[in-house]
Structure 1
């Protein structure tokens, strides 16, 4: 499955088909859609489609007739899908059996950008769908975390071809993959406070049973499920047929259901209690006065409400105050912060409040997610996954330039290449938070002055509005790129 194709096209080529005498734009095949030999995702005419094999067409039609498919699509848990019969006549060739059309996902993210709660809820969604599929004669052939995407703070399963008719084997073929990409990462973070994000970014295959066992303590080995899913699994690592096998009298779907229920209990019982982090209490501990905070909210509200945007990025979002403000005037706000505690807190609050159009991500702007996988194209960098109509960069610039030693010029160049409209906050060197940051340092970027910042901004943008907050140490800028 290539989740990036559910949003936008990528480099590729194909012969332009002709329908009713009209040439159709050539399908653009997704560069990451090749691991499943039964299907190939492509973008054509603004729609997201998938060529499927003749065998997969039978599996799809069996899935389409199930009760759980219709129910899950209605609930937003499964991507809406239908056969694209008119297009199939001009696109199908060779061994392909049909063409499916999928609903779009507005923004693609990856498991190494999710918080603990997001990964856990994605795992539970996959297990719930597997259990429902088994009841109607279907199985899941894999257990990849990349089969799940997000609509705001709600997970949605996107890989329709994962479902196949039950073939009689009394095990789940995706068990090993599920453990490596869901269960093991959740265990090591819940019990050992080892962040899974760098581990999943370092290996797209996840955390192996052997690696997980080495990370767990002796006490952890006594916890529920560890003996079966980690210790014994690690001993079997490297052997063929690593699906979830069960010996004994149970046969068929009942054997898998028994173990799915066990995995559900384990995953639901995993909790991460990190306490406070450097930024999770920032809203209460920052240097803003009440007047500063009120003026800043008004400024952002006026910009956000000027017109409706399709996609907004809130960079350095903390727990999401300004992301929620922008969400009232946008189809989707992607709220990114490097602090996993703050992001997880934001996610839990979004779920409780029912906000449907804010998608939180654990994302370090100074160390962003790169292109990964085969030819560095299976998983895409941020800039290739969507261009925001508006970017909020509030109280983050000084962390990048003074805290992470990024050149101010390059940061502004990056912003200018990312968006056409930006709200950015400049924090002076005499601000209490900046003085604290520089307390034990003498070196800093010589460009980091308000005068030089304004000069560099004006070389790249047109300043629409400028506001110095009442404290006098922070200045907000609303800028747009000049029309060419």
Structure 2
């Protein structure tokens, strides 16, 4: 937790406006939560409960403490009854950037926390996947404002959100083999029951969990479409709905989530280290180059773009506080995550993203969920064996590739560092990509032009050609 006082002015988190009485804002490096009168009363009861301290101690719920008076800017202090201070997660990611196993483990944690809360007379008003983040391969629940003292006869308030942002995406991939990420990226509220029902007709309705949580859910939702929420709750209470029934439902959903799994299809990229065109000498020189440049820098945060199986992310983690490993192949990311999770790795976060189509801003006003570039701030960027895929494979001009990479790095104070690999046009992989393109389409894709463009943006501190003679590594710092 951050403990030094600040006098910085505050600014609100764009994704935290939907509950006026419970909002996240920032002051300097601090992550603060403002609570209105009712939210403050609820938090006081929850903070005194028995279920929360073990979850905080285990790191399953984000570190939370009352903020000191001198930590809260004056303009914010007047708005809130109570202000809490939260631990800052190293990098904010979104569910459409997670692999299947990541979303499943996030869902498992949410249900584990909900079960512990219900057993202690507390409920959770939300069930969104966006309420979870990551410390490396460990999920952490961040929305402590959704805890609320429970009331007899109340249903599971977050059930719909849980289904739409966690359970349905998992079903989509486990039962149909369809990637869920595009659906979550397209709709901030997730996948509607009606959408799922159309996908799971016929015999598909009898797959695990589908009839109850898709067909029955959609039917009940349609039945009560014109009924006020308060009236629905009264009907539920009158029908004898109990806390024990909610607990049983949550346990059943947890068992269902545990049963859902996905076997990734065979992917060229899963075994890339064995199938790529690097010689053993190339790998040795490249590994030594990256290791030495990171050891010299000792960065706080590294972005490994095109991370593949995480080989260089692991090298980076030996020298950096935190590594974000970005890869576009769902099977690779899922495999990397499962291995990191098994190892208890908390310094490498794998995320799924196409570098030629990075996550845009989304939600209200386009900034309720920030774009990848708005979140991507690194001391060092690794761009190894990625430039040719963008420049040739996806037709992104070299200047625009370098500008995008540079935008992630600071140009003041301690300038950011780029470690980048240029694959020459005569390299076998470049030749393979060029074979699918019209002749003469990339007249500027050659080493001299790349070096000129790189030197315009960076002070090149080191270059080294790999023994194969068709790839060159560069290290440089951003020109101020």
TM-score calculated relative to the size of structure 2 = 0.92
Which residue of 2 is the match for residue 64 of structure 1? Answer: 47
SS of equivalent residue, structure 2 residue 55? helix
| Alpha-carbon contact 2:66-2:83 (below 8 Å) kept | yes
How far did 1:23 drift?
9.5
Which residue of 2 is the match for residue 261 of structure 1? Answer: 251
Which residue of 1 is the match for residue 337 of structure 2? Answer: 347
How far did 1:68 drift?
2.2
SS of equivalent residue, structure 1 residue 451? helix
* d(CA) in 1 for partners of 2:459, 2:271: 34
Q: 266, 270, 279: which one pairs with 2:260?
A: 270
Q: Which moved more, 1:444-453 or 1:333-342?
A: 444-453
Q: Which moved more, 1:373-382 or 1:196-205?
A: 373-382
> What's the RMSD between the two structures over aligned residues?
2.2
Which residue of 2 is the match for residue 396 of structure 1? Answer: 386
* d(CA) in 1 for partners of 2:156, 2:95: 22
What does residue range 24-423 of structure 1 map to in structure 2 within 5 Å? 24-87=7-70, 90=74, 91-93=76-78, 96-216=80-200, 218-238=202-222, 239=225, 241=229, 251-419=241-409, 420-423=416-419
Which residue of 2 is the match for residue 17 of structure 1? Answer: none
* d(CA) in 2 for partners of 1:318, 1:250: 53
Matched residues, number: 462
SS of equivalent residue, structure 2 residue 183? helix
Q: Which moved more, 1:376-385 or 1:327-336?
A: 376-385
* d(CA) in 2 for partners of 1:137, 1:477: 58
How far did 1:252 drift?
2.9
* d(CA) in 2 for partners of 1:115, 1:89: 39
* d(CA) in 1 for partners of 2:238, 2:177: 37
| Alpha-carbon contact 2:27-2:73 (below 8 Å) kept | no
* d(CA) in 1 for partners of 2:212, 2:337: 31
How far did 1:363 drift?
1.0
Which residue of 1 is the match for residue 437 of structure 2? Answer: 441
Q: Which moved more, 1:409-418 or 1:421-430?
A: 409-418
Deviations along 1:97-155, one digit per CA (max 9) or x if unpaired, are 21111111111001111111110000111000000000111001010111001111110
| Alpha-carbon contact 1:246-1:255 (below 8 Å) kept | no
TM-score calculated relative to the size of structure 1 = 0.91
SS of equivalent residue, structure 1 residue 475? strand
* d(CA) in 1 for partners of 2:84, 2:12: 14
| Alpha-carbon contact 1:210-1:237 (below 8 Å) kept | no
How far did 1:168 drift?
2.0
Deviations along 1:15-67, one digit per CA (max 9) or x if unpaired, are xxxxxxx9932221222221112212111142111110111112212221223
| Alpha-carbon contact 1:401-1:407 (below 8 Å) kept | yes
* d(CA) in 1 for partners of 2:296, 2:11: 35
SS of equivalent residue, structure 2 residue 181? helix
| Alpha-carbon contact 1:183-1:267 (below 8 Å) kept | yes
Which residue of 2 is the match for residue 432 of structure 1? Answer: 428
| Structure 2 unaligned spans of 5+ | 410-415
How far did 1:251 drift?
4.2
Distance 1:250 1:350, change over 3 A: farther
| Alpha-carbon contact 1:192-1:215 (below 8 Å) kept | no
How far did 1:362 drift?
0.3
* d(CA) in 1 for partners of 2:154, 2:356: 47
SS of equivalent residue, structure 1 residue 67? coil
How far did 1:381 drift?
1.3
SS of equivalent residue, structure 2 residue 473? strand
How far did 1:468 drift?
0.8
